[in-house]
Chain A
Amino acid sequence: MLIGVGNLGVMVLGVVLALRPALAEDANNGNSPKALFETHCSACHSLELPRSQRLDRNTWRWVVDDMVNEFGATWITEKQQDAIIEYLVKNHGPDRPRD
């Protein structure tokens, strides 16, 4: 039962989030790769974990694929996924010093 409610919650959240970038775009700041990362990824989990990672492009692609295919973040479009991966590689890649 919990699973059903959880799925419904995510679907509703997904719809809300799908609308949010469009709304935020009007404010000229919601469509940046950083905003996409923060908005979509924090829907399910806090951002401390991704920010603690230092991964190469292939591994970030693997992580995002898992989030979409295994953990239900299906509302994130392919274009948005690419932008988020680009942001993660640049800001949380293997060459970035640990905080």
Chain B
Amino acid sequence: MKKSLVSYQQLREMLVNNDACTEDLKRFDFMVSRRGFLARAGGGTSALALLGLGAGTEAALEGLFGRGMIPEAWAQEADEAGAIEGKSGMIIHNHRPINGEFAPHFLNDDITPTERHFVRNNGLVPQRAKDQNPEGWTLTIDGEVQNTLKLTLDELKKMPSATYQACIECGGNGRANFDPPVRGNPWNRGAIGCSEWTGVPLQDLLLLAGLKDTAVYTGHYGEDPPLGAAPPFSRGIPIEKAMEKHTLVAYAMNGEPLVPLNGYPVRLVVPGWIGSASQKWLTRIWIRDQVHDSHKMTGYSYRIPEYPVPPGSRPPEEVMKILTSWQIKSMITRPAAESKSGVGDKIAVHGHAWAGENSVDKVLISTDYGINWKKAKLTQPANKYAWYHFDSEVSFEGKGYYEIWARAFDQNGNAQPFRQPWNPKGYLGNVIHRIPVLVDV
């Protein structure tokens, strides 16, 4: 496969093959993520130019990379931007609270590595998590139960465990595609991960505590200090979802203890549902005799109108309903946006699809703006709520600017929309994913 010399991947390989230091590799990933992301719309230029380095200096710059070095200006910019420990290459929307995602081509793995899993925080990272010290931590399950439970991490780990691959996706993932723009972190595509989680099924704990007949909903609490005078971040789920076997009280991610940013020592994993259901730094599950009525369950938070509203409008609070599961969606992870290719080159297309509580029926690929479609090869998920993966191959018979589109369908025939339907806070964005490709230009 012929490609221009200046793809991001090739630049990185030049660094690796020429003994670049680890710090510079981290800075490179950070800069690719930052520049590649911001320059998505600018077609017709080389990767180096997209990375902010002037056209015409490619030869000299390739020489620099070929000696295992990165431009000094990059080192400074990456350092000033304060790349976050353990999340190299993350596009950071905010440092306080920390919110960051990865560009789709960073999420190519079947199982999302911990260092590539997005971070969505509402408050600060608890000191216990930073210290990774479980001493004094307990999980309380109380409310509408026969016996209040209080468990230490050791006690939890001694119980029978389950391990599943599970999608956790921020309810606002895709918000950047809403028009007119809406408030909130401008997540593009990367506020999703499908890692492998290990923990105790929540249903085992609820059976142990003994649910009363009055139990209808959960309310989750964590130990992350809120910002300012914000109320503690808390959401909940119906008892039926809490009793579903894939809902975990998780203490391990990809076979290791949770990292501080993803909820150490224990978090909920409520797969297929919007990420805020999967409380991090979990300390209490309050079993309620009514729908949980915390701040983040009411008003406009994590809620959408019952009916479609005109873009840019804000319907009355009474018509807002609580968000639950995600809907049909897919993401192309290869090739990367702005990849260059030659006429007739065979380009491997790879990506993931998922469908909340539903199953993925098929993924179609188009290279002509949706006029013609072909079915991608679909690989089944490791378990319910894990990613499906798709593969296809495309090529272009003439030079120019093209786009690769992916469109997933669930088993009920629901497909991703061509234009993003609008709601006031930009939730559940699932518009089809489009990857620009430059062929011999």
Contact = CB atoms under 8 A, between A and B. Distances in A.
Interface of A: 2-3, 6-7, 10-11, 43-46, 48-49, 52-56, 58-59, 62-63, 70-74, 94, 99
Given A2-B223, A45-B97, A56 B228 contact: no
A63 B182 CA distance: 11
A6 B326 CA distance: 33
- Contact residue range for chain B? 20 to 34
A49 B120 CA distance: 13
Nearest to B179: A94
Given A6-B226, A6-B228, A71-B227, A56 B312 contact: yes
B83 to A, nearest CB: 14
A3 B95 CA distance: 21
A43 B228 CA distance: 8
B181 A53 contact: yes
B135 to A, nearest CB: 17
Contact of B183 (A48, A62, A71, A73): A62
Chain B binding surface SS class: loop
Given A2-B223, A10-B228, A71-B227, 11 more contacts: A2-B225, A6-B225, A44-B227, A46-B94, A52-B186, A53-B181, A53-B183, A55-B182, A59-B182, A59-B183, A94-B181
Nearest to B232: A3
B227 A49 contact: no
B180 interface: yes
Contacts of B230: 6, 44, 70-72
B93 A71 contact: no
Given A54-B181, A56-B312, A70-B295, A7 B229 contact: yes
Contacts of B229: 6-7, 10-11, 71-74
15 contacts: A6-B226, A43-B228, A45-B97, A46-B94, A46-B95, A48-B95, A52-B185, A54-B181, A55-B183, A56-B180, A56-B312, A58-B314, A59-B183, A70-B295, A72-B228
A62 B92 CA distance: 24
B96 interface: yes
Most B CB atoms within 10 A — which of A44, A55, A56, A99?
A44
Contacts of A55: 181-183
Given A58-B314, A99-B38, A49 B185 contact: yes
A99 B180 CA distance: 17
Interface string B79-107: 00000000000001111110100000000
A45 B181 contact: no
A74 B228 CA distance: 10
A6 B226 CA distance: 7
Most A CB atoms within 10 A — which of B185, B186, B230?
B230
A94 B180 contact: yes
